[in-house]
Amino acid sequence: MANRIKVTFQPENRVVEAGPGETLLDVAALAGIYINSLCGGQGVCGKCRLKVLSGEVEFSSRGIGFLDRKEVDEGYVLACQSTLKDRDVEVWIPPESRREEEQILMVDNIVQYGAPSSQEAGAAPVPVPYYEPLCHKVFLKLPEPTLKDNLSDLERIYRALAQKFPDVKWEADFACLRNLARLLRDNHWEVTALVHALDSHCHHVRSLEPGDTTRNAYGVAVDVGTTTIVAQLVDLKSSQVVGVEASHNQQARYGEDVISRMIYACGHGGLDPLKNAVVTTINTLVNSLVAGAGIQHTDIISFVAAGNTTMTHLLLGLEPCTIRLEPYIPTATRIPWARAAEVGLTGHPDALLHCMPCVSSYVGGDITAGVLACGMNDSPQLSALIDIGTNGEIVVGNNEWLVCCSASAGPAFEGGGTKCGMRATKGAVQKVRIRGDRLEIQTIGGGKARGICGSGLIDCMAELVAEGIIDQSGKFVRLDHPRVREVDGVPEFVLAKETESETGEPVVITEDDIGNLMKSKAAVLAAMKVLLESLGLRFSDLDRLYVAGGFGAHLDIEKSIRIGLLPDVPREKVLFIGNSSLGGARQALLSTHAYRKANAIARQMTYFELSVHPGFMDEFVAALFLPHTDQSLFPSVQEALKNRQREEALLK
Ligand code: FES
């Protein structure tokens, strides 16, 4: 047997064994410890620093640029660039290298489509219209055959089903015939059919089991996010949610964003680890749901997954390589159903998996699910749905038409590409208030600051411009403010000094960070403006603006408008709809009609390619201002600014 090396991770004191040549990043994951790996282990982000306390590792020179001399002498290495040699090792993980539990949005304020009276986000849940789960169970008590009633066993089942569902044609999988004769006779002609109701005219019996098991029929709706995965357990008989669990997508060790995962998947042998990682994450959530609800895995007969196009491909083990390369073609947008077991998901052996349909390479099933969940496709009102992350996906339309686009917003909203940026995890600054020289910050978890997350950056930028510390082009103008300092000629605002932060390093927002954030917000606003104008519309024509996703849930509407991330529409028109990807997946789980509707939405949505639009770059440049170079687009912000100037003049 190959030499096994003991690796001890501190401060947990967790010990695992691994072989020579394995990276510390992989060994940490093996130990259930997740380390920041923004670049997926390529050695180019420097976020996976560990300190070797004893023993020795092979440290590739590739990572050396991220460590200074003192750190190297102290034993710091990059986990992804350090491989085990032949001796036991003990390492310490500094807090900033640890991927803490993210604020995961597990709730959805879905608007029930087809129920106009309740079309308000946050409205009390009402039964899903056309309630008929994609998969459900039907108990059959068959009459015993006689010489007069001598139908075959299968026809006898069809007849019983037709009596319960007179308008439906019935078919059965061939596998149902095996042992059917014995199954019926051994169980006094009482069996339960697992029914797949995808086609409204013709339902399929996928399997048969002895006795009445209709009480044990559950489904799982899954939001397959790039960063986090959320799973809801739903009782298919009562339509009640009986549990919800969430965790990091274990694919993160192969890259934090979609592009780095595509690159990994398309490298030699990269697809299987990525598929296994997402399947393992979902199965782990399912294990917790099953244990929490006191049910069996075999009680789960249906899964519905909603994810972006790349995540959907990776879950199904489909190569995502052509998604990334011009002309950006996915293997499929409308995905045929599959046996969940074939994909690797644990449930009933005949449980089925349906994926929410995608529109294009960059508008996926999560967005289709979002449209379904907010119901904009059923309303005559003009609505826009915006989902902001590293990509900003935007859908505009009503019950007659839907147009969508996707703009690359860069990593700033997710805490990347900024000096002290981090994801929305414990210790991230998420709220900032500046009044004169006074500064108040609020961190996730309430402890000392470790960095700043996307919504914190937006909050901070809005405060800086409101206080006149930066100007509308994002440049520092109040260099005399006690929290402003210059480092190597670059001004920065100090949110937490060395003595105030958790890491002993200051938490700052620099002029470059502000520039990056302005590019991100400009890309999103410009995309929405170009999309609307190409339809002959303006922001003021919108009746509703739905903001979806985890990042959206923590946004401050007023501040988002003040910096020009969201358009200046009356505030009551803006609705945060939470995790609408999960909400849409659950609707499809509970309603065949909803699933078919999602397919119709995906077919109906016209994808608008921004990259070839001649006006996009001009709009992008025009939006590189706070809130915008065309101030008339932001009348309420202008008004607030004037009022403030008036008040200040009076005080002088
Ligand atoms: S440098 Fe190690 S994960 Fe990026």
The CATH number given to whatever domain includes residue 537 is 3.30.420.40
Mean per-residue pLDDT, 437-446: 90
Instruction: Give pLDDT tens digits for 541-580.
Output: 999 999 987 776 678 888 999 999 999 999 999 988 888 9
Could you tell me if 351 and 380 lie in one domain? Answer: no
Mean per-residue pLDDT, 392-400: 95
Instruction: Find tokens 């606003």 and name the residue.
Output: 525
| Beta-bridge mates of residue 451 | 428
Radius of gyration of the chain (CA): 27
Please state, in angstroms and rounded to a whole number, the distance separating the CA atoms of residues 493 and 484.
5
Instruction: Give pLDDT tens digits for 401-436.
Output: 999 999 888 777 877 778 898 877 788 898 999 988
**Gap from CA of 235 to ligand 1 centroid (Å):** 42
In the chain, the amino acid numbered 37 is S
Q: For residue 72, what is the domain's CATH number?
A: 3.10.20.30
Please state, in angstroms and rounded to a whole number, the distance separating the CA atoms of residues 476 and 513.
12
Instruction: Find tokens 């074939």 and name the residue.
Output: 342
Sequence-ordered list of residues with C-beta below 8 angstroms from that of 545, at least 6 positions apart, any chain: 383, 384, 386, 566, 567, 569, 573, 574, 575
Q: Is residue 21 part of a domain?
A: yes
Could you tell me if 590 and 532 lie in one domain? Answer: yes
Could you tell me if 418 and 406 lie in one domain? Answer: no
Residue 525 contacts residue 386 (beta carbons within 8 Å): no
Q: Is residue 255 part of a domain?
A: yes
Could you tell me if 276 and 287 lie in one domain? Answer: yes
**Gap from CA of 42 to ligand 1 centroid (Å):** 6
Nearest to 409 by CA among 513, 499, 527, 502: 527
- Beta carbon of 43 within 6 Å of any ligand 1 atom: yes
Q: How confident is the model at residue 31 (pLDDT cuts 50, 70, 90)?
A: confident
Which atom of ligand 1 is the closest one to the Cα of 37? 3
**Gap from CA of 29 to ligand 1 centroid (Å):** 14
Q: Is residue 650 part of a domain?
A: no
46 vs 120: which has the higher pLDDT: 46
Instruction: Give pLDDT tens digits for 463-494.
Output: 999 999 999 999 999 999 999 999 988 999 99
Nearest to 36 by CA among 428, 305, 387, 318: 428
Q: What is the pLDDT of residue 555?
A: 81
Share of the chain above pLDDT 70, in %: 93
Q: Is residue 480 part of a domain?
A: yes
Which residue out of 80, 91, 97, 99 has the highest number of ligand 1 atoms within 8 Å of its CB and is therefore the one to mutate?
A: 80
- Beta carbon of 37 within 6 Å of any ligand 1 atom: yes
Does residue 592 surpass a pLDDT of 50? yes
- Beta carbon of 452 within 6 Å of any ligand 1 atom: no
Instruction: Find tokens 């007849």 and name the residue.
Output: 159
Instruction: Give pLDDT tens digits for 324-382.
Output: 888 899 999 999 999 999 999 999 999 999 999 999 999 999 999 999 999 999 999 99
**What phi, psi does 70 have (nearest 5°)?**
-60, -40
Give the other-Cβ count within 10 Å of 282's Cβ: 26
3-state secondary structure 65-89: HHCCHHHHHHCEEEHHHEEECCCCE
Q: Is residue 177 part of a domain?
A: yes
**Gap from CA of 35 to ligand 1 centroid (Å):** 9
**Gap from CA of 370 to ligand 1 centroid (Å):** 33
| Beta-bridge mates of residue 355 | 305
**Gap from CA of 78 to ligand 1 centroid (Å):** 7
- Beta carbon of 38 within 6 Å of any ligand 1 atom: yes
The region of weakest confidence among 94-98, 345-349, 629-633 is 94-98
Please state, in angstroms and rounded to a whole number, the distance separating the CA atoms of residues 323 and 67.
35
- Beta carbon of 466 within 6 Å of any ligand 1 atom: no
- Going along 93-186, which residue ranges are E strands? 135-141, 169-172
Please state, in angstroms and rounded to a whole number, the distance separating the CA atoms of residues 206 and 213.
15
Which residue out of 24, 27, 48, 50 has the highest number of ligand 1 atoms within 8 Å of its CB and is therefore the one to mutate?
A: 48
Instruction: Give pLDDT tens digits for 156-212.
Output: 999 999 999 998 999 999 999 999 999 999 999 999 999 999 888 899 999 999 999
**Gap from CA of 18 to ligand 1 centroid (Å):** 20
Domain boundary among 487, 508, 529: 508
Q: How confident is the model at residue 103 (pLDDT cuts 50, 70, 90)?
A: low
Which atom of ligand 1 is the closest one to the Cα of 35? 3
Q: How confident is the model at residue 116 (pLDDT cuts 50, 70, 90)?
A: very low
Which atom of ligand 1 is the closest one to the Cα of 46? 1
The SS3 of residue 554 is coil
Could you tell me if 170 and 261 lie in one domain? Answer: no
Q: For residue 158, what is the domain's CATH number?
A: 3.10.20.880
Which residue out of 27, 78, 257 has the highest number of ligand 1 atoms within 8 Å of its CB and is therefore the one to mutate?
A: 78
Q: How confident is the model at residue 101 (pLDDT cuts 50, 70, 90)?
A: low
Q: Is residue 122 part of a domain?
A: no
Which residue out of 26, 37, 257, 261 has the highest number of ligand 1 atoms within 8 Å of its CB and is therefore the one to mutate?
A: 37
Residue 140 contacts residue 154 (beta carbons within 8 Å): no
Q: Is residue 200 part of a domain?
A: yes
| Beta-bridge mates of residue 223 | 230, 306
Which residue out of 26, 44, 96 has the highest number of ligand 1 atoms within 8 Å of its CB and is therefore the one to mutate?
A: 44
Could you tell me if 467 and 564 lie in one domain? Answer: no
Range of the domain at 496: 414-508
Q: What is the pLDDT of residue 356?
A: 98
90 vs 412: which has the higher pLDDT: 90
Residue 233 contacts residue 217 (beta carbons within 8 Å): no
> Degrees (nearest 5) of the Cα angle 405, 409, 411?
140
Could you tell me if 334 and 221 lie in one domain? Answer: yes
Which atom of ligand 1 is the closest one to the Cα of 41? 3
Give the other-Cβ count within 10 Å of 388's Cβ: 26
Number of folded domains that form the chain: 5
Q: How confident is the model at residue 38 (pLDDT cuts 50, 70, 90)?
A: low
In the chain, the amino acid numbered 365 is G
Q: What is the pLDDT of residue 106?
A: 55
Q: What is the pLDDT of residue 391?
A: 81
Please state, in angstroms and rounded to a whole number, the distance separating the CA atoms of residues 412 and 422.
9
Does residue 617 surpass a pLDDT of 70? yes
